[in-house]
Structure 1
């Protein structure tokens, strides 16, 4: 498929992305020419050993860091030509974020944490919008609570609700289950899976856990800043075996 065709059929397109970090100790190439198209409504897990470039890929794809060269096209917009104000506005409008640390505002209620992304765009959310998305993540009756009154798993579900309420073009998740026990992790991953299956969201998740990656439709493997392979609909055992082979 041509690059033009990929631009019109992809929710997110990375084309020849490189990222070089320079310091007094020398240069480090975190990404060395990554090209990949993420289809609308897909759930992709990005895996690789420490230092493989997976976190840098997510940061460049989300406009949180600028690539040294290459193109990032998200929701029909080329990110690399935007200034910081334009990037901020695009992230508020077209992206959702879920991090391992939750990043909830402790002084705000669950309701206000979830409503915040819409308010930042100048939109006043309706009560039904907020309560509906809280119901989707299993937090009925928790709207008036504050983050400190919730378990870690509940806080992560608030973060998912906050990411989903604006119906972003792409939902980025960086180790979203890293601080959770296995049972709670399963609930969070099932919510991300439902976001693609039921709501048609595009999800890009960085993880080191083969069990988490098995919830994705595709696993993209990185090694030394390059795409080293992919696996569609793999089991946790198959993904773990592929990672072991990659690390060898």
Structure 2
């Protein structure tokens, strides 16, 4: 089976990293998308122990947090979804070359069921130490995406909840509700400042400790999720097209 270099996939398919291992081609991209629903996976089997064992098989990937949907940012993305998304994986036995960083096309995958959050026992039994190390480094990295930083803030230092007046009695003015709203805005600003300071100081060791913390402990534990991947088919025409395009440039070999 022909494998593909990371540079080829990035240059030919384009897109931005939407969440770990998932790439998305925004509607305002200057080049036409070659993939259905404008998305594709590039996953590393070295840190994804539950990927499909081979092309056409089912599996799962791990994640710590979920990004928002593209349609929440791009109005033109309302019709996009992550169904039948091409999946490419490196560091698999299917890459016969010495360069294990080359990617194998496994097929098109859909998430047909809700993701499951691992509990304390599953984190101990099912997530190898080197995978925890990988995620700890990714989450503590200074260059992590903004949405990951915000997810960490909300997880470890939850945003204050508004508990002020919502409705105004008929015999009262709206002074109390306005005072409550202003107080809550001040409270949110203080939370934002403190949480952002704390999250900027978070280290890999803090994440690893949170992985091993009991579910009910405080500060809160951090758990990974299983995102289930069901193979919807292996597109030979798509594969042949990529093989042909890559063969035109010797720099990809």
TM-score of the two chains, using structure 1 as the length reference? 0.24
Quick check: which one's strand share is greater?
1
Asked which structure has the greater CA Rg, the reply is 2
